Amino acid sequence: MRIEAGTSPVVDFGMMKVIVLVVMAISAAAGAGAPAIEPGFTSLFNGKDLTGWKVSGPAESFTIRDGAIVANGQASHAYYDGSFRNHSFRNFELKVDVMTRAGSNGGVYVLTEFQDVGGNERASGHFPSKGFEIQVNNSHGDRIKTGSLYHVVDILDESPAKDDEWFTEPSKVTRSW
């Protein structure tokens, strides 16, 4: 799956329980063909449309281009709401292949659920009040950079990745309940 985003969107993958593969690109990256899915991983995106996804916020912030979800515009959230594991996940490994463009700022929420309007309002829009954001920001003015678990474990000022280059952002989420 490929997802592209603009300056402030957040892509939200719902509450995850199994191993999944998601590919995300921030801003207008030209998408090459769909990446190979590693054994044991499952893609949550069909490469064609937003079947299995529910959008909150301006729907026009998300489009599909070259097999990628492109998020560009006002803050908006695409929640995975598909049939895989009934979109209810708890323990999982997530690999997000990402490309950002200069000034892009986005993220991936985990352990969250659909909200028509996010409960946390910021200057850039409404954001989910439940869950955690895995930051995707290499060069935006926000000091919290790619790889951070936003406001839990922050990587400040220096991103471990660069704009205009693909990189994989892996995350492992475990819950004991």
Adjacent-strand bridge partners of 20: 94
Instruction: Flag the least confident range among 40-44, 52-56, 119-123.
Output: 119-123
- CA distance linking residue 60 with residue 56, whole number of Å: 10
Angle at 123 between CA 144 and CA 107, to 5 degrees: 40
Split into its structural domains, the chain has a count of 1
Give the tens place of pLDDT for each residue, 105-118.
888 888 888 777 76
Per-residue pLDDT band at 145 (split at 50, 70, 90): very high
Q: Has residue 8 got a pLDDT over 60?
A: no
* Structure confidence at residue 14 (pLDDT): 35
Range of the domain at 113: 2-173
Q: Which residue has the higher pLDDT, 148 or 32?
A: 148
In this prediction the pTM is 0.73
DSSP annotation of 30 = P
* Structure confidence at residue 157 (pLDDT): 93
Give the tens place of pLDDT for each residue, 46-84.
888 999 888 888 888 888 878 777 777 787 888 888 877
Contacts of 104 (CB under 8 A, 6+ apart): 5, 6, 7, 26, 27, 136, 137, 138, 139, 140, 163
- CA distance linking residue 175 with residue 173, whole number of Å: 7
Among 118, 119, 107, 101, which Cα is nearest to 148's?
107
* Structure confidence at residue 24 (pLDDT): 36
- CA distance linking residue 160 with residue 71, whole number of Å: 22
